[in-house]
Each structure stands twice: as C-alpha cells, then as structure tokens.
Amino acid sequence: MAPSDSFEMENLVDRLSQQNISSQARTRYVSRTEALLNDALPALQVDPFTLPQHQWRESSQPVRNATGSILSLYHLLLAVWETSDLAAVAIPFTRRVWFQLVAWTEFIHPANKYIDNPSHSSDAIAAIILGELVAHRSQLSDLLAQTPRVYRLLADSWLHGDKRWFSHKTALFDRNPLELYGRIVKVVMQALTGDRGPPGTAPPMLEGILEATNHRPKRIYKRAMACLMVAAQPSAYSAQIVSSQLTIIFTLASDLLPLASYPRNVIRSLVRWATDLKKGPQGKDLTLAYRVVECMWLSAQDDRPLVWALRDGIMPLMMAANQHLNYELSRGLELMMRRSIFVPVARALASCETNFEIWADPQANTILNDTIKERLLFVPLLDGEQCSNPQCGKTAGDGTRLSRCPCLAMTYYCSVECQKAHRPAHQRICHIDPLLRIHQILDKIRAHPIGLSQVQFMRCNGVQYTRHHGLNILAEIDQFIPPDSSLVCVFQITIDFEQLPSPSHTTFVADPESEELYPFLHDLDEHEVVAVARLSSDVSVVSFTYTLTQLRELVLEDYRQGH
C-alpha cells in the first residue's frame, strides 16, 4: 500500500465519524475501507526477515509499503471506538494478518535495531499500532497470549518516550507527538489496572515491562519518572499524560511491583515536582503523587525514602492529605510518628494544632498526644551545629567541637559537663521507644498501663517466637481449618512470656467480634492469624496480624534460609 492510501483511509474514517451522513454514503465509505484493506494485504504478507540485507532500510519499497499498510490499519482501529460500523471490518482483518503484522512491527521497532538509523516516523508507527492492538485486547486476547512480545515492544515505546517522542517538535501524521504518546501511556495504564478490558492483562503487561528493562525494576521507575518530568511541561496534552503516568507508577508501587529500596532520584524528583504542582490547580494529581510516595515508604525496608522526601519538603502535602481524615492519621504521618524523631518530622507535627486521634480510646489518645508533645519539646536540642544543652548555646566552629551522643545519636554536646547537666531530659527521651504502637495495647491499658519500650519489646519477641516455632504453629492451625472452604476463621496464638526464659504458646480459633481483637482484623476475606504476647495475667499486646497465606510464606522462607 502506498503512503497516500493511508491518508485516504484517514479521510474515510473522519467521514464515517460524522453523524449527519446518509446511510448510502456510510455503506459506500465502508466498502471503500474494505477495498483499501484488501490492497494493504499483499504488503503485509511479505516476511520482512527474508528481505535482502540491502532492503533493510526505511527507504526500500517493501518497508514503505508495509508501514503505509500499518498506518492505515492504525487509523481504522483507532476509529473503532467511535464508529461501531468499522469494528466488523477492522477486527477480522487484524486477526487475519496478526502474525505478519507483529513480524513487521518487530522489524521496524527501534528497540530491535533491524533498521539502521530509523526515523521518528518508523518508531511512531510501530508504537501506535502496538498501542491499538493492546487497546483492543478484549477482541484479540487469544492472539496476544500467543505473542507476548507485543507487550515488551509497547513497554519499550512507553519507557523511552522522553527520548523518542518529546525530542520531536514537528507533527507526526498530522498529529502532535504528545497526543500520540499520551494514547500509549493510557493504554499501558488500562492494561495494568484492568480498565476497559478482560481481567488478567496486568501480568503479561508487567512481564513485558520487566523484559524491556532486562528485569531491572529500579530502571522501570527511573524511566517512568523521566517521562513524567518531560511530559509535565505545559502543553495541551500534558494533563492526560501526567494523570495516566502517575496512575501507572502508583499501581506498580502499591500492588504489582513494590520494591524494598527505591532509587533516590525517583523519590526526590517526584516530591519536587509535586511541591511545584501544589502552586497550581491540579489537586487530583497532587494527591496521587503523595500517595505514590507513601506507597514507596510503606514497602521500603529502611527510612531513606522517608528522609529524602522530608528534606525536599513533602510535609505540607502530607498535612493537606491528612485534613481529609476526620479521626485518624494518614498512613504517611502515622508511619513517620512511629519511625523516627527526625527534626523535620517533629517540627511539622509541632506546627499542626490538631490532636491526632489514632484510636477510639480517650485514655490511649491522651497518652499518645502527651508523648508526642514531650518529644516535640526536645526538638530544638537536636541541632547538629549547636550544643544540645539549652544553658550552653555554643555552636560548632571557632574552636568548639561537638560530639554526638552515643545513645540517642541525635544530640550533640561540647563537653562532658554539658552532657551531664542535660542528662535528665536526655535520658527521658532516650527511653521513649520510637515505635509508638500505643494503640496495640489491649483493654488492660486502663488499669495496668505499661511503658512503650515494654510494648515494643513484647511485640518483637512475639514475632520472633512465632517465626522460630512457625512449622509447629502452622501444623496446629491446620487442625482447626474447617472442611467448608467458605468459612473464614481467625486463629489466635497466645504466647505466654511470664515463664521466661521458656515461653509457651496455645493456638485456638478466636471470636472475630472480640473487643480485644476486632480493631486489628481486616476484611476477613481469608483466614487470619493474630499473635498475642502475654506478659502477665493482665498485660497483653498484639504482636502481629497476618493472613494465613502470609504467615505460611514467612515461615517457609525462614525454613528455606535455615536449611
């Protein structure tokens, strides 16, 4: 098919999309469309990999004919969403030439490097037809399952948009390159989220993304953020691209591909961009950007992502997100309260006048708020450039050397005398455990409150005991599982630490409506396991709440590592 035929196909599609054409004209246009598709068939039936080597270039006639046919089919598939008459023509033809079409797409795609110095047009033709093939996955799911490389090529076009699309300033096929790239981003988003398609498309799309980066997950986030930063430049199409790109990153970080460690430049770039975005009207994108960062914090194994984001000024975004919650903290704020006493965190909490209600019990809330206020009073003493003794005030330099406290590792003193003088306040803050799990104390807190350090000590010991005796505990739970798979149970493991150093445990089926356990349970879609560490007859702490599947995976992983 000559390139001019693709322009005729585009004109036919535009006419068919009009609402005021007669039925006779519509029939005539559809007939002409079928004729153009038949003319395109011979060009696509040529196997590109059997062409002579000297024809492996864009200017050769076979390649020009094939790209013209692909472009015509693209216009047709794109119009199917608006003109139902074309579906009966486009989908059967696509199924007929599927494998030849995929072969030609592989041949002209720049990732495979079969064509020397491919132009932006070849790259765009390969990318846009791949996007439409995946967009029509409801009708083409069986063929996509046989050619999963389609997902890999589409992922490559998506991940390299900043290099291949945004550097091209002129129109492609009478369209803005950003408009074409925005369509690809939207298709990738829909495939990962399961929107507008059959279920089960997320795994092959994710596998294609991994293959496009040689199974380097961090590179996925780096490339996605690079494209987001370029697409965020003011334009008529940037809003759609930004929204879809953020949704993709959020889906990966929260569900499909959470990482234990995220690249530093990804988090910092996202926070800085969101901070600039806060000055504009894009509230939805702002909230989604914060949720992306929050998901990265929750899956990370250390506090580095938290510190990076705080240093770059994410705190105002978090406070804004927390205003929408009436009675509990946003997950990010609660995570920071439990994790650290870093200066930026404490200063931000001090500037917020609202008392944080994270549990329904008034006495527990009072204890928590008093504890936070006590920590905040200590904030001015954590300046690494000034002696932490408020009566001293010496600063680093001018012959004064500050030494870090070996216990808290966040206070600095110019001399032993200042350290001793400040010891009462210093010692009190050192003994406050940074994990403020006050809401995990059960109803015995009213009559027999225990210290936060004891709470965390019991919680950690409960986890370690369960992992050490995991195989025996799982065997005991299996005896209680009902034969009816529709029944969901809560299994409680009560670990008695009163007889240290030889603790013991009992396993039984618990009442999910129990006042003690109800606050810690989830939606009970499957069996759950609750471990309760008991220090005495009147002091208990919930150590963890896992689904039975999660507990099995944890125990078996420990078993494999130990053997």
DSSP 398-451: TTB--EE-TTTSS-EESSHHHHHHTHHHHHHHHTS-S---GGGB-GGGTTS---
Position 431 scores a pLDDT of 46
Q: Identify the sign of the CA torsion 59, 63, 68, 74.
A: negative
Strand bridging mode 490-496 / 528-536: parallel
Position 438 scores a pLDDT of 32
Position 430 scores a pLDDT of 53
Single-letter amino acid, residue 109? H
Do 355 and 369 meet the contact criterion of CB atoms below 8 Å apart? yes
Position 103 scores a pLDDT of 94
Dig out the tokens for 336 from the structure.
Answer: 């920071």
Position 267 scores a pLDDT of 92
Do 252 and 244 meet the contact criterion of CB atoms below 8 Å apart? no
Low-confidence residues of the chain: pLDDT under 50: 2-3, 281, 325-329, 340-361, 376, 408-409, 431-449, 452-453, 500-501, 563
Three-state secondary-structure class, residue 495: strand
Position 326 scores a pLDDT of 44
pTM above 0.85, yes or no: no
Position 541 scores a pLDDT of 78
CB-based contacts of 261: which residues, under 8 Å, 6+ apart?
218, 300, 301, 302, 304
Nearest one of 173, 57, 53, 73 to 124, comparing CA atoms: 173
Can you tell me the distance from the alpha carbon of 157 to that of 151, in angstroms, rounded to the nearest whole number? 10
Position 347 scores a pLDDT of 44
Do 440 and 541 meet the contact criterion of CB atoms below 8 Å apart? yes
Can you tell me the distance from the alpha carbon of 550 to that of 158, in angstroms, rounded to the nearest whole number? 34
Position 208 scores a pLDDT of 93
- Count helices and strands (H / E) in the chain: 25, 6
Can you tell me the distance from the alpha carbon of 53 to that of 504, in angstroms, rounded to the nearest whole number? 75
Position 367 scores a pLDDT of 56
pLDDT tens readout for residues 538-548: 677 787 788 88
What are the Cα distances from residue 334, in Å, to 345, 408, 439?
Answer: 11, 21, 11
Position 101 scores a pLDDT of 93
Position 278 scores a pLDDT of 59
Sheet holding 490-496, edge to edge: 504-510, 490-496, 528-536, 539-547
* DSSP class per residue in 199-244: TT-HHHHHHHHHHHTTS-HHHHHHHHHHHHHHHTSSSSSHHHHHHH
pLDDT tens readout for residues 313-344: 777 677 666 555 444 445 666 666 555 444 44
